[in-house]
């Protein structure tokens, strides 16, 4: 990774030098610098994971499962909702309807995620925490994430999380990660008991 970083830096330096020359001999310096910063942002993740990023470039979008604010479990036109396991989706929809009667409006902050989206989150966490080992305490790999298989949802805001923690088991929904009060999975039968969290 360090080697890749160095290569990336060298490439940037080369690009910057080239642009400096361009800037000196043309009047497009401002436009050229804008181009450099736009290309520079995603470079660390592509340098870290050249094989997994593939042809897709740029940040993850709706097709990767990114959801707009205030997404409902009934927004099945969005891939992040449509690609959830059908039984989980039905349970979340039931919970949304039931908590609305209690005066709480929930939103799905994340449902299904593509491998690319999950990898992007992991890459961000590695940059934030400084090591892959530490980052993996907070973010799963694309191979292990239950979001990637469509078997997990993240719900907000906090009062909606609290509602599902108290009443979600009637639909089979349980909090499964002790350090994520917003993360729910279909891991019990409706009306059953939630298993211990990991």
Interface with Zn ion (CB under 5 A): 152, 154, 183
Spatial CA neighbour of 171 closest among 97, 78, 60: 97
The two most distant CA atoms of the chain are separated, in Å, by 73
CB of 183 to Zn ion, least distance (A): 4
Nearer to Zn ion (CB atom), residue 28 or residue 138: 138
Distance CA 77, CA 60 (A): 17
Distance CA 8, CA 50 (A): 12
Distance CA 117, CA 32 (A): 29
Nearer to Zn ion (CB atom), residue 50 or residue 68: 68
Distance CA 82, CA 71 (A): 12
CB of 114 to Zn ion, least distance (A): 14
Stated as kind and residue range, the H or E segment containing 175 is strand 173-175
Nearer to Zn ion (CB atom), residue 123 or residue 185: 185
CB of 125 to Zn ion, least distance (A): 13
Distance CA 46, CA 48 (A): 5
CB of 166 to Zn ion, least distance (A): 19
Cis ω before 157 (30° cut-off from 0): yes
Nearer to Zn ion (CB atom), residue 47 or residue 154: 154
Let me know: does 118 contact 68? Beta carbons within 8 Å: no
> Which residue's CB comes closest to Zn ion?
183
Nearer to Zn ion (CB atom), residue 63 or residue 180: 180
CB of 188 to Zn ion, least distance (A): 17
């Amino acid at each position: 990774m360090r080697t890749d970083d160095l290569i990336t830096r060298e490439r940037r330096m080369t690009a910057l030098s080239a642009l400096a020359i361009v800037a000196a001999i043309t009047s497009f310096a401002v436009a050229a610098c804008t181009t450099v910063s736009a290309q520079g942002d995603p470079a660390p993740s592509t340098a870290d994971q050249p094989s997994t990023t593939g042809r897709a470039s740029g940040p993850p979008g709706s097709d990767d499962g990114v959801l707009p604010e205030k997404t409902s479990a009934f927004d099945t036109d969005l891939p992040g909702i449509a690609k959830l396991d059908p039984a989980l989706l039905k349970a979340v929809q039931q919970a949304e309807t039931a908590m609305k009667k209690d005066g709480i409006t929930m939103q799905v902050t994340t449902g299904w995620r593509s491998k690319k989206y999950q990898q992007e989150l992991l890459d961000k966490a590695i940059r934030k925490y400084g090591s892959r080992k530490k980052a993996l305490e907070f973010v799963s790999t694309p191979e292990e994430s239950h979001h990637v298989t469509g078997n997990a949802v993240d719900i907000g805001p906090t009062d909606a999380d609290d509602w599902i923690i108290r009443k979600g088991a009637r639909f089979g929904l349980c909090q499964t990660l002790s350090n994520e009060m917003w993360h729910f999975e279909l891991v019990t039968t409706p009306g059953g008991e939630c298993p211990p969290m990991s």
